């Protein structure tokens, strides 16, 4: 089983977003970058599958050198090697082009990634990669089991889930509870230092979108407090004042 | 040049979110001086197709092949791409859903289209084509220029308030070429809560957290939701503990919602939870801890015990 796991380096989920340069840039000062939480699920499942079935796990990131700590952590969790495409991940199409180019050079049985990156929430890279490679893509995947050359998949839908079967190779966008997050141990951290991290230059430069500027949401007005002893008043206010019921 | 709207059926009826997408698409068409065509896949009732006209489509393409009854992202993307080419559509509009999201991603690859997800306003077409979209799960917005010839807009719920008119649309049968490779993924089983209001489509949501102390206490949440005709939701810890199914988990790594009303019961309001719900129009927080951070992001608050407050609210709703 040869698995490629695509990971993003994104601001920690607890980050309070602030802007800089006249609202044209996100302020990175003091922001802790982490592996995308959904990508972490994909990586954890990939490492579990490798432990079960044998094979290799390669981590791929499209990003600049500031993503290296995140990539090293993926290696510490159990990936065998890593590739970084040395470019700013400007938009989904550009990132998908990079992933597809790497995938064409190597034949992977599975290409896993998070259902979406938690920064721009596009959720489109897996679909575009699938299209570029002529492979099925499925997202969001909650469970993944491999039976020979067939994948058995549970995908979340509104109000429930569906069970799917498809032959390998496949491109999958993953989410919980596909695996328990793995935490790197000391041995993993030590070995990650010497595992290969290949840096390659990007191919193509197609971007189809461009962010001109950013805005932060307006603060909500003061919270109107209702004493618990008059809880019924809330329902009246929701009808007559807020007009939502 | 025209606007094509992907209108999604659920059990033969157009989804509410799709009616919003059709109305939004008709406004984009008006802004760009063109017309709005809706495409509907699978067997749909005639009165449902007519509904697309009442919400702003001037034409409906209906691909009624039974093979398309089951939502299949890959086949749907091929059909929508063929329709976009036939109609010369350069803007494709859809409402976010588990099917539409997957379909849109494939479509972006097929058409080499710029895709903006979580769009929350009509585009600014005064120079170029610029949309406002929610990023960081609602913690910020990005004004994004779509520079490709083809553009896909995936709109968030409550982006626009649709208005129904007496207008009619011409309905045309659409017979796309179906490709076997698009049916390579087999659906072996579907489990879906029936009769419930689907969370991403719901106007009103009653949500609860660890403050409920255990899954056996969810009756009071469900009673209030039922009285309000609301969907139920929960926080991440509750879904992690298996008190509630994963498809009810709202937050940064769960479902992102933007209903008219979000009522959070016994949820403290961690930043990751707020991220998934902060675009709700009105937020109510009920928590016994007056220091719960959620009160700072709420419109209405009650400091009190959910076990006492919720049944009283349910009774008050029933007496309306």
Whether B251 maps to a domain, the answer reads yes
Closest approach of B316 to chain A, Cα-based (Å): 6
Interface list for A 11-30 with B (CB within 8 A): 11, 13-17, 19, 26
Integer Cα distance of B81 and B120 in angstroms: 24
Nearest by CB to B302, from A92, A164, A231: name it: A231
pLDDT band at B309 (very low <50, low <70, confident <90, very high): very high
pLDDT computed for residue A73 by the predictor: 97
Which residue range forms the structural domain that includes residue A191?
A: 2-220
Tokens 């979108």: give the residue.
A209
- Please give the average per-residue pLDDT across B231-258, as a whole number: 93
Backbone angles phi, psi at B308, to 5 degrees: -95, -40
Closest approach of A190 to chain B, Cα-based (Å): 30
pLDDT computed for residue B195 by the predictor: 65
- Please give the average per-residue pLDDT across A194-211, as a whole number: 94
| Mean pLDDT of all residues belonging to chain B | 95
pLDDT computed for residue A218 by the predictor: 87
Share of chain A above pLDDT 70, in %: 100
Which residue range forms the structural domain that includes residue B248?
A: 199-318
Whether B188 maps to a domain, the answer reads no
Same domain, B305 and B162: no
- pLDDT of B213 higher than 90: yes
pLDDT computed for residue A204 by the predictor: 84
Same domain, B255 and B106: no
Closest approach of A133 to chain B, Cα-based (Å): 10
pLDDT computed for residue B235 by the predictor: 97
H helices, E strands: number in chain B? 8, 17
pLDDT computed for residue B35 by the predictor: 96
- Please give the average per-residue pLDDT across B22-35, as a whole number: 97
- Please give the average per-residue pLDDT across B215-224, as a whole number: 97
- Please give the average per-residue pLDDT across B130-144, as a whole number: 95
Q: Pairing state of beta strands B140-146 and A209-215?
A: antiparallel
Interface list for A 148-167 with B (CB within 8 A): 155-167
Size of interface A-B (CB pairs under 8 A): 276
CA-closest candidate to residue B158, choices B193, B114, B205, B108: B205
Same domain, B70 and B211: no
pLDDT band at B12 (very low <50, low <70, confident <90, very high): confident
- Please give the average per-residue pLDDT across B63-81, as a whole number: 95
- pLDDT of B11 higher than 90: no
CA-closest candidate to residue B106, choices A52, A127, A157, A34: A127
Whether A96 maps to a domain, the answer reads yes
Higher pLDDT: B275 or B151? It is B151
CATH number of the structural domain spanning residue A183: 3.40.50.620
- pLDDT of B36 higher than 90: yes
- Please give the average per-residue pLDDT across B142-168, as a whole number: 95
pLDDT computed for residue A206 by the predictor: 85
pLDDT digits (tens, 9 = 90+) for A142-158: 999 999 999 999 999 98
Interface list for A 127-146 with B (CB within 8 A): 127-132, 134, 136-140, 142
pLDDT band at A19 (very low <50, low <70, confident <90, very high): very high
Total count of domains within chain A: 1
Total count of domains within chain B: 2
Using CB atoms within 10 A of its CB, is residue B11 exposed (0-12), middle (13-18) or buried (19+)? exposed
User: Which chain B residues are closer than 8 Å to A125 by Cβ?
Assistant: 105
For A223, what's the count of Cα atoms within 13 Å in the CB-facing half-sphere? 20
Cβ-based neighbours of B153, under 8 Å, separated by 6 or more? B24, B28, B91, B92, B93, B94, B115, B116, B119, B123, B131
Interchain CB distance below 8 Å, A118 and B309: no
Same domain, B212 and B161: no
- Please give the average per-residue pLDDT across A28-56, as a whole number: 96
Whether A232 maps to a domain, the answer reads no
pLDDT computed for residue B193 by the predictor: 80
Whether A233 maps to a domain, the answer reads no
Q: What is the ipTM of this complex?
A: 0.93
Closest approach of A195 to chain B, Cα-based (Å): 30
CATH number of the structural domain spanning residue B15: 3.40.50.620
pLDDT computed for residue B253 by the predictor: 85
Interchain CB distance below 8 Å, A208 and B309: no
- Please give the average per-residue pLDDT across A115-144, as a whole number: 96
Q: Is the CB of A2 inside 8 Å of chain B's CB atoms?
A: no
Whether A225 maps to a domain, the answer reads no
- pLDDT of B1 higher than 80: no
Whether A231 maps to a domain, the answer reads no
Lowest mean per-residue pLDDT among A149-153, A158-162, A233-237, B300-304: A158-162
Write out the H or E segment, with its range, that includes residue B131: strand B130-135
pLDDT computed for residue B196 by the predictor: 73
């Amino acid at each position: 089983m040869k698995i490629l796991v695509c990971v993003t380096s994104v601001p920690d989920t607890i980050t309070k977003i602030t802007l800089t340069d006249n609202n044209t840039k996100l302020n990175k000062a003091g922001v802790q970058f982490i592996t995308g939480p959904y990508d972490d699920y994909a990586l954890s499942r990939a490492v579990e599958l490798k432990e079960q079935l044998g094979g290799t796990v390669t981590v791929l990131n499209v990003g600049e050198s500031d993503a290296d700590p995140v990539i090293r952590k993926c290696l510490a969790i159990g990936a065998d090697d890593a590739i970084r495409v040395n470019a700013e991940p400007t938009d989904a199409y550009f990132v998908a082009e990079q992933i597809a180019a790497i995938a064409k050079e190597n034949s992977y049985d599975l290409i896993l990634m998070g259902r979406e990156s938690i920064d721009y929430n596009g959720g489109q890279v897996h679909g575009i990669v699938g299209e570029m490679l002529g492979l099925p893509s499925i997202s969001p995947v909650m469970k993944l089991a491999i039976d020979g050359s067939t994948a058995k998949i549970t995908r979340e839908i509104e109000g429930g889930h569906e069970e799917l079967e498809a032959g390998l190779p496949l491109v999958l966008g993953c989410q919980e509870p596909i695996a328990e997050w793995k935490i790197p141990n000391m041995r993993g951290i030590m070995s990650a230092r010497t595992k290969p991290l290949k840096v390659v230059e990007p191919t193509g430069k197609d971007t189809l979108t461009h962010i001109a500027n950013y805005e932060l949401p307006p603060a909500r007005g003061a919270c109107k407090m209702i004493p618990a002893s008059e809880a019924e008043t809330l329902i009246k206010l929701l009808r007559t004042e807020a007009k939502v019921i | 040049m025209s606007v094509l709207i992907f209108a999604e059926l659920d059990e033969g009826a157009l989804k509410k979110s799709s009616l919003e997408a059709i109305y939004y698409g008709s406004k984009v068409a008006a802004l760009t001086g063109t017309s709005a065509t809706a495409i509907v896949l699978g067997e749909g009732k005639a009165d449902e197709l007519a509904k697309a006209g009442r919400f702003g489509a001037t034409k409906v393409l209906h691909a009624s092949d039974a093979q398309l009854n089951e939502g299949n992202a890959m086949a749907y993307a091929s059909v929508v791409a063929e329709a976009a080419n036939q109609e010369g559509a350069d803007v494709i509009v859809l409402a976010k859903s588990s099917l539409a999201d997957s379909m849109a991603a494939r479509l972006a690859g097929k058409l080499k289209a710029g895709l903006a997800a979580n769009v929350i306003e009509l585009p600014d077409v005064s120079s170029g084509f610029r949309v406002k979209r929610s990023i960081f799960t609602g913690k910020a917005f990005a004004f994004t220029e779509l520079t490709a010839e083809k553009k896909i807009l995936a709109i968030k719920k409550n982006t626009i308030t649709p208005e129904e008119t007496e207008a009619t649309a011409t309905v045309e049968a659409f017979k796309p070429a179906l490709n076997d490779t698009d049916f390579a993924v087999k659906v072996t089983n579907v489990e879906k809560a029936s009769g419930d209001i689907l969370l991403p489509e719901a106007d009103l949501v009653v949500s609860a957290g660890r403050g409920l102390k255990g899954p056996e206490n969810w009756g009071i949440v469900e009673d209030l939701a039922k009285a309000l005709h609301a969907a139920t939701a929960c926080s991440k810890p509750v879904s992690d503990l298996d008190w509630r199914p994963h498809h009810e988990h709202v937050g940064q790594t769960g479902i992102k919602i933007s209903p008219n009303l979000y009522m959070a019961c016994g949820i403290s309001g961690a930043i990751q939870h707020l991220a998934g719900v902060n675009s709700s129009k009105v937020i109510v927080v009920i928590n016994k801890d007056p220091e719960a951070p959620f009160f700072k992001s709420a419109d209405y608050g009650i400091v009190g015990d959910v076990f006492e407050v919720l049944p009283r609210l349910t009774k008050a709703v029933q007496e309306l």
